[in-house]
Amino acid sequence: MAQDDHNSTDKNDRSREKAVPAGRIARIGAFGRLVGGVAGGMAAEGARRLSSGEPINPRDLILTPGNVKRLTDRLSHLRGAAMKMGQMISLDAGDFLPAELSEILARLRDQANFMPTKQLDTVLRSEWGNDWRRQFKWFNPRPIAAASIGQVHKAMTRDGEELAIKVQYPGIAKSIDSDVDNVMTLLKIAGFAPPELEVDKLLAVAKQQLHEEADYQREGEQMELYRRMLEGEPGFVVPRLHQGLTRGSILAMSFEEGVSIERLDQESDQRRDETMARLMRLVARELFEFGVMQTDPNFANYRYRRETGEIILLDFGACRPVDKDVANGYRKMLQAGLAGNRDKVIEATIEAGFMMPIVFEKHPERVNKMVDIVIGEMREDKPFDFGDRAFIPLLRDEGWEIAQDKETWAFPPVETLFVQRKVSGTALLGARLKAKVNIRRMTEETLRSTQPFPAKAA
């Protein structure tokens, strides 16, 4: 979670101050009330449609304005895995989601409640002891940011160090497995989780990632790892960990002043392009050099320092090692793409697990068309315009047609999902900023300056 303007709390807005249901029974009850409220809304809408002679569709019944509000409000109240999954699905699925579900998930990205002061004090006393206030000159009880797993407070230590302190909501870590299962149940009821998909694998991945993100000690270690890897690298700022105040559910770090990365849209074209190029190079280094990647490309995880043009990197809970075979698979695909060799691109794509062989066997013409579009874009020796997404509908149309064939449905290797999420999410930020970057030259430079990882032992 980041210190983001978009989620910043208003000192006069008490409506977003809501206690987090911490106990297992309380959270199950909250989900039960949500399901009951949605069911009641469905019954009312069904009766209305019957009386007026309108056709009845289960999806239309659940996605009434009233139910959309119920889902959004309740998931925002529960926070934790419930809210995080909504944010993850929204970012990953992009244009493929039904408009109504997109609306719910967009609200979950933007709407974050925060703990009342009394509940916050209970959490801090449990971690730091009853006299925790003695460690600070001041501690602002009103958070500067609130998100799915915790909220961030600004504070100053006795020796004058200004800190950002991330406090995890109570009960969140223990509720992850049940929350994920409950959210998937809701998606199944709404018809958004087709039975043909291997949902169990998706659930296992979501639970693993969320458990890792809820371990603030682990996140602190990952943050320090990035500080070391980027030490001396101009253009990046990574907060310093305050080890003495960090606990399993509290992460203390230096406060780094900056504004939302999306404010770059107010800067010059040159500044936007330079910043985006720097972020793209970072992704390439994570994939081909560092061997570790921060896999959550949420825009709030980046801040921008106007005075220096530096990018502040935040939220390292989603850091994970990059699978060497996946990195080498990306390398082969890029090399083949730069050479304009469609057959080699497809071969590398299948070998790395990005595409199942049956997809190409059954739909070779559509796959060839999609690969040709991508090769054409990446081989252009000129700045790639992220804001010009004219080719996206072409890819989407072909992909949609392939997706109608349920025999081709398969869950890709987990290792590829995390990397692809970061790559596509970074490209989405480029589109938001309407940045232009010479992708071909950057790719060639990256491949020249790095080597394939040694093959894993059989």
Burial of 117 (0-12, 13-18, 19+ CB in 10 A): exposed
Percent of the chain exceeding pLDDT 70 equals 71
pLDDT reading at 133 higher than 70: yes
10 is catalytic: no
pLDDT of residue 66: 54
Active-site position among 4, 179, 273, 296: 296
Half-sphere exposure of 245 (CA within 13 A, CB side): 25
CA–CA distance, 409 with 184 (Å, rounded to integer): 19
Range in 38-47, 78-87, 238-247, 390-399 the model is least confident about: 38-47
Between 382 and 59, residue with greater pLDDT: 382
pLDDT digits (tens, 9 = 90+) for 335-346: 999 999 999 999
The CA-atom distances, in angstroms, between 241 and each of 157, 221, 238, 246 are 14, 8, 9, 8
Show Cβ contacts of residue 351 under 8 Å, excluding neighbours closer than 6 positions. 329, 332
pLDDT of residue 107: 55
Range in 170-174, 180-184, 324-328 the model is least confident about: 180-184
pLDDT of residue 46: 42
Q: Where are the alpha helices (DSSP H) in 65-116?
A: 65-78, 80-93, 99-110
Show Cβ contacts of residue 449 under 8 Å, excluding neighbours closer than 6 positions. none
Which of 187, 180, 255, 242 has the alpha carbon at shortest distance from 213? Answer: 180
Mean pLDDT across the chain: 79
Cβ atoms of 113 and 18 within 8 Å: the answer is yes
Span 299-310, average pLDDT: 93
At 68, the pLDDT band (50, 70, 90 cuts) reads low
Between 344 and 397, residue with greater pLDDT: 344
At 75, the pLDDT band (50, 70, 90 cuts) reads low
pLDDT of residue 36: 44
pLDDT of residue 275: 96
Return the structure tokens found at 257: 């002043």
In the chain, the N- to C-terminal Cα span, in Å, equals: 38
pLDDT reading at 221 higher than 50: yes
At 37, the pLDDT band (50, 70, 90 cuts) reads very low
Span 151-174, average pLDDT: 93
- This prediction has a pTM of 0.79
pLDDT of residue 40: 44
